[in-house]
Chain A
Amino acid sequence: MNQPPEQGIKYIDSTVYLPYDYIAGDYKTRYLQALKDKRILGSKCSKTGKVFVPPLGNSPESFAPATELVEVADRGILTTFCIVNIPVIGRSLEIPYVAASVALDGADISIFALIQECKPEDARMGMRVEAVWKPDGERQGDHEDILYFRPTGEPDAPQASYITRL
């Protein structure tokens, strides 16, 4: 009785099941809806004029409301990047590939983006990239509507044009 069992029950299985039902909120609803039309919306800070993508209800920086929605371009500048050599959960991409921050033209913060049609050794800061969208009729209004970004072949942007938008 007082000895620990040699063949005890060493583990219990405990499966946690927690369903969630998120609302997008009015700002992100309009942002997601616009993706169906190949448009990308941001919100503009009423104090500084900075544009946030995806839209935020207020500027985290100035603490002022950012309720005006504005359209930004579906192309921009690769500001910083990394080369992924390990498989990532939920993605079956051929490795290595480039994951990057992209500052869209007209936006003051960058978004995370997958870069394709680009050899990892060709990726560089300042490279111009554009969105490749899902075909018409297949876009659902979610982030998968943009399949990836690819190089445009335009001349690289000067560092001063994106150094504050990394």
Chain B
Amino acid sequence: MPQLRNVAIVGFAQLPIVARDEHRIATDMLYPVVRQALADCGVERDAIDYQVAGSTDYMDGRPFGFVSALDATGSWPPRQDLHLEMDAAFCAYYAWVRMQAGDCDTALVVGHGKSSEGDPNRILNLQLDPYYQAAIGLDPISTGALQASAYMARTGVTDRDLATIAARNRTAGARNPDNQLHQAATPEELMRSPWAVEPLRAAYLPPLGESATCLILAAEGKAEKMCDRPVWIHGTDHRAEMQALGGRDLSRSAGAALAARRAYSMAGLSAATDADVAELTALTPAEELILAEALGLDPSGSRPVINPSGGPICGHPIMMTGGIRLGEAFRQLSGRAGARQVAGAKRAIAHASQGHCLQQNLVWVLGSERRWT
């Protein structure tokens, strides 16, 4: 593995996830978050070289709606800016790539959007091909159920196993004040909730939420000045799979497995169990099990701790959920995780996904020490 440039996460701010913010438009939600992340780093906007935003114009209902976020990110004098129709974690990847190329040292990475203003299930239906899949009304819940069925058939996992995963997330999530759901839950309680789409019960699925998030990335030399405990990027990899659901084995995630192998190799992480924390963008309990298999994690083991934040089941602001996983990893490794702090955490895995049934996967390995010297 060649020497790469040491890049760190030096700041993270998010709004607590809510079902619907009745008082603020998306840019008014984003502005205080950007201000807070900059203030936490002790810098003004002029200290940032590059900005990347993740959101979806379909949710916003306006072509080029993302441009309005420029008003809230301090874009004057004119800045270098990029928008991705992707989760904020993928935006962080682009910022990291730009830093590897050497054309910026610092970056602002935001996620924004009000999912309550549109109809996410209708919108995400349009991600599928228009001839066969979108046309029959598949949405992320029904494709997630197909995926869960496939996984259960292959492994023999039961409804109770799914409930146990969901309950662990919910119970951990009660310690995270930024979550939309704050109540701990037992598997028995969750198993009493009705089917959303069998074999997924309503209580196994995230509520729809909205938020605003801001990560700040900085390269070595600047990172140490912006944060007392920068969290260094040790490895990362991003893989996309084919769109057609029937063209891949939904019970596995080949893309997540390959991304993990490459990211671990870059990071010098010999096994996932050498990490202390893993934050996964698992939108159903079955997806968490599929990801655990792909990433080499033990979902019932003690190390790494999976989703100490409560995971997406406790809050899923679309286009921000993956960015929050990265932010949570930053909080854990920089000692900012409050009541959910994993004691002595030094290395973390953060995972983001996009698309139906884990179509795209992005894996990060982060550490409290620099990767390359």
Residue of A nearest to B28 (CB): A57
Neighbour of B61 across the interface among A20, A26, A57, A62, CB < 8 A: A20
A residues 43-77 in Cβ contact with B at 8 Å: 56-58, 60-63
Neighbour of A22 across the interface among B28, B117, B135, CB < 8 A: B117
Q: Are A63 and B131 in contact (CB under 8 A)?
A: no
A71 to chain B, nearest CB (A): 21
Scoring B22, B27, B71 by chain A CB atoms within 10 A of each residue's CB, the highest score goes to B71
Q: Which chain B positions have C-beta within 8 A of A1? A: none
Q: Are B123 and A21 in contact (CB under 8 A)?
A: no
Q: In the complex, how many residues of chain B place their beta carbon closer than 8 angstroms to a beta carbon of chain A?
A: 30
Q: Are B45 and A63 in contact (CB under 8 A)?
A: yes
Given known A12-B130, A58-B71, A61-B76, contact A18–B31 (CB-CB < 8 A): no
B residues 321-342 in Cβ contact with A at 8 Å: none
Q: CA of A61 to CA of B72 in the docked complex: distance in angstroms? A: 10
Q: CA of A60 to CA of B31 in the docked complex: distance in angstroms? A: 10
Q: Are A57 and B27 in contact (CB under 8 A)?
A: yes
Q: Does A19 contact B (CB under 8 A)?
A: yes
Q: CA of A101 to CA of B119 in the docked complex: distance in angstroms? A: 35
Q: Which chain B positions have C-beta within 8 A of A24? A: 25
Q: Are A23 and B31 in contact (CB under 8 A)?
A: no
Q: Does A14 contact B (CB under 8 A)?
A: yes
Q: CA of A16 to CA of B123 in the docked complex: distance in angstroms? A: 9
Given known A12-B131, A16-B126, A61-B76, contact A23–B22 (CB-CB < 8 A): yes
Q: Does A28 contact B (CB under 8 A)?
A: yes
User: Which residues of B are in contact with A by a Cβ distance under 8 Å?
Assistant: 20-25, 27-28, 31, 45, 58, 61, 70-72, 74-76, 114, 116-119, 122-123, 126, 130-131, 134-135
User: Which residues of A are in contact with B by a Cβ distance under 8 Å?
Assistant: 12, 14, 16-28, 56-58, 60-63
